Amino acid sequence: MDIDELIENFSFFENWEEKYQYVIDLGRRLEPLDEAFKTEQWLVKGCQSQVWLVPQFKPDCIHFCGDSDALLVKGIIAIVFTIYNDKSADEIKKVDVQKIFAKLGLEENLTPSRRNGMMSMIEKIKQYAQNAK
């Protein structure tokens, strides 16, 4: 799924409860993260739930794997990965995530702690992009 498809899928739902369920469903489909990566090294600071984010640097892009101990947060990870996964470091740096979140309706419908956690994930992804060679 790409960003446009994600935005289109969100547009089909009439209320936040339906979107919330869709986010949880996205989390259920998230690629499993090997237990070996669920360590302090890969833990994202600033998230209410435990979130692990692991980059895989490829010649022309960065692929991310991740997981959380909370279903909704797993769905947020899936959304963040839809936006950033398999992009070059330069593409990651140029993404206007606020514009995308506005189209999805995430900003106004997540609790402040979930929103802060989501932004912590994004900052971590941008750090990886900044440090990519």
User: pLDDT (tens digit, 9 = 90+) per residue, 103-121?
Assistant: 888 777 888 888 899 999 9
pTM beyond 0.85: yes
Give the position of tokens 């980059």. Answer: 55
Q: What is the model's pLDDT at position 90?
A: 95
| Residues in Cβ contact with 23 at an 8 Å cutoff, skipping those fewer than 6 apart | 72, 75, 76, 78, 79
Q: What is the model's pLDDT at position 57?
A: 96
Q: What is the model's pLDDT at position 50?
A: 95
Q: What is the model's pLDDT at position 112?
A: 85
Q: Which domain CATH number covers 12?
A: 3.90.1010.10
Is the CB of residue 129 less than 8 Å from the CB of residue 94? Answer: no
Q: Catalytic residue, from 23, 33, 47, 65: name it.
A: 47
Distance CA 27, CA 4 (A): 18
pLDDT, tens digit, 9 for 90 and up, residues 16-68: 899 999 999 999 999 899 999 999 999 999 888 999 999 999 999 999 999 99
Q: What is the model's pLDDT at position 66?
A: 97
What is the number of domains present in the chain? 1
- Say whether 65 is catalytic: no
Q: What is the model's pLDDT at position 12?
A: 92
Q: Which domain holds residue 78?
A: 3-131
pLDDT average, residue stretch 74-80: 96
Q: What is the model's pLDDT at position 133?
A: 63
